Structure 1
């Protein structure tokens, strides 16, 4: 029993092969027009319309038989030898292409000549009734033109395939870099938290126990988030709330947090835990060194075509002492993750408002963050 076409659905590379087939047809039609005008000029513009008609009839039939035969043979070979990359991209190999070119040139010339006669009402001499010298000349010209067109389309296709492979390699490299940067985030955050816990143990064992319980709950809640490439903005804010609940065990009323996330932006997607190191820095270098503590604000809003993410604190700002200035790891880590995910389309800026504190803004094009609406999750609330 023969297989039906539906039993062998086209793969994405094969679908692209048929798209290229249509583009090749457009280029072949353009080339036929050029050849027709050239032949008309060589004949002293005697009946130029007839020259163009025959050029189109013969040239397009040659293209249809050669390029169509190429795809059909490659599709059949794909069924017999699944997984072969060349066949997947519609290329059956040069031996089969020679057969396609010879058969397409002979068949295309014969069918095109008959079609041209039907359209113009003329009766041209049949290819097969011509003298041997005329036959050899005609077949040579048609064969060279067909072979040249095939070589052109083959080279163009290989260049396109190479560009696609290079783009895929760049995407894989960017994703790998993103995963490495994300892996660096976890020990950095855990180190800072354990350092805070160590200090608290010597000051207040009861609060240290509470903080340890919060740390365990926080790590359990963020384990899944730290293993995925991205999650909704709503989930990002929820994980930040978990972290700030942990920090409030240590700082008490000295740490006040405010969140602002419009419902329309809650489902937007971004790299998981992207804002985490910025919040850590705001607490460690800005708010905690102050006796009175301060306010940490995390917000999101639309600004033109961008989604603007803001982490601002009322801490020491530029007045931070060298001992609390940090190494800049968190800030650079966020910049690197933005570059790996969005390239130059996204950016980060840092400023120190006149009233004090520090303000960090991240802008990401809204279209790059679009994602299906997430399932129910706790919405951030002011605390």
Structure 2
């Protein structure tokens, strides 16, 4: 898929920062509520719950503000994550305690009493440190889980691309050997057609080699490769194969994974067109759906799905399973591959790639 515009990336970053800040303040408010409840039950304090809540919320608010501001310091951003977290905690908690008590006393109209620690203030400090440490631990745990999820996603993508290379290694020699066998029979009998097939084979192999060296391709390149492949198959099958490629000009530069449609076309030829007496038609098309997503279809008028597979979502062999796994790894649950019967006969494979 094309890289998003720079302003979109900036908006996403700002939204992510805002989300982290709101989660920090919300979690801090909940922990301060817990701290107030605990302080109310401690014998040395045993103060009013609402008074304890008032002070704890102000301390938590200023501590959260301090953490938020410290996150933006370039010097801290260059430190290792654990060291930066410990330093933010060491600065934010005392600062939050002092400023929180000062604001709470000032708004109550009482003299500010922060220096000269008493038992209830010691308990408040301990509760503040513990709650701050708990917030920090939760933030660290959440970040660690996010990093592990990202690592799993990357590993899945790498595994899928490794499977793609293996699939190419299986498909291309098979297709190449069959084409060379046909060329051998055409060289003496129909040399002009043999030269045409060689040109098509060169086009197909050049496109396949280019696709193996990149993570994405354009629909224009994919359809050019499919055109060469289907023309080769049409020379082999003769009048038994009729095909059409329908690619609107507006979608020619749309980015897709390389060789995404090749297994679907091969599946349609192998299971739909070739076994059918009299042959069939195969249509490959692309269009946008109502949500701006990309819809790619490989439809044929061949034998159709085997009995019992009409409503089976995982119908198809290794090639189709590989397409599904690639879509899931690259686009998540927003992408899909659906296999359905086509009326009055044949099969339709539909790929949806989200916008």
Shorter-chain TM-score: which interval? 0.7 to 0.9
The TM-score with structure 1 as length reference comes to 0.68
Give the structure 2 partner of residue 332 of structure 1: 321
1:209–1:277 CA distance, 2 compared to 1 (3 A): same
Distance 2:204 2:96 in 1: 72
Rg bigger for which structure? 1
Deviation at 1:290, TM superposition (A): 5.5
C-alpha contact 1:265 1:301 (8 A) present in aligned 2:
yes
Q: Deviations over 1:59-89 (max 9, x none)?
A: 4345545x368647x853554x5xx3435xx
Q: Kindly tell me: are residues 156 and 236 of structure 1, through their superposed partners in 2, closer, same or farther at Cα, counting changes over 3 Å?
A: same
> Residue 309 of structure 1 is aligned with which of 279, 289, 296?
296
TM (normalized to structure 2)?
0.73
2:82 paired with 1:86: yes
Please state how far the C-alpha of 1:191 moved relative to its aligned partner.
2.4
Q: 1:219 aligns with which of 205, 219, 231?
A: 205
RMSD: 4.0
Partner of 2:348: 360
- In the alignment, what sits opposite 1:159? 141
The equivalent of 1:195 in structure 2 is: 177
Could you tell me how far apart the structure 2 residues matched to 1:316 and 1:231 are? 31
Partners of 1:175 and 1:191 lie apart in 2 by: 25
Find the aligned partners of 2:286 and 2:232 in 1 and give their Cα distance. 22
TM-aligned CA distance change 1:254 to 1:114, over 3 Å: closer
SS of residue paired to 1:362: strand
1:119 aligns with 2:115: no
The CA distance in 2 between the partners of 1:22 and 1:115, in whole Å, is 22
Aligned partners of 2:272 and 2:303 also within 8 Å: yes
CA contact (8 A) 1:69 1:100 kept: no
Deviation at 1:200, TM superposition (A): 1.6
Work out whether residues 300 and 348 of structure 2, in 8 Å CA contact, stay in contact via their aligned partners in 1.
no
Which residue of the partner structure matches residue 3 of structure 2?
Answer: none
2:227 paired with 1:241: yes
Tell me how far apart the structure 1 counterparts of residues 64 and 270 of structure 2 sit (CA, whole Å).
69
Alpha-carbon distance change, 146 to 17 in structure 1, aligned in 2, over 3 angstroms? farther
- 1:31-110 paired onto structure 2 within 5 Å: 31-32=31-32, 53-65=54-66, 67=67, 71=71, 75-76=74-75, 78-79=77-78, 84-87=80-83, 90-91=84-85, 93=86, 96=87, 99-100=90-91, 104-105=93-94, 107-110=95-98
Cα distance, 1:204 vs. partner? 1.8
How many equivalent pairs are there? Answer: 326
Which blocks of at least 5 consecutive residues in structure 1 are unaligned? Answer: 1-11, 320-326, 371-383
Tell me, yes or no, if the aligned pair for 1:177 and 1:340 is still in contact at 8 Å: no
CA contact (8 A) 1:210 1:249 kept: no
Q: Tell me the CA shift for residue 264 of structure 1.
A: 5.3
Shift of 1:44: 6.3
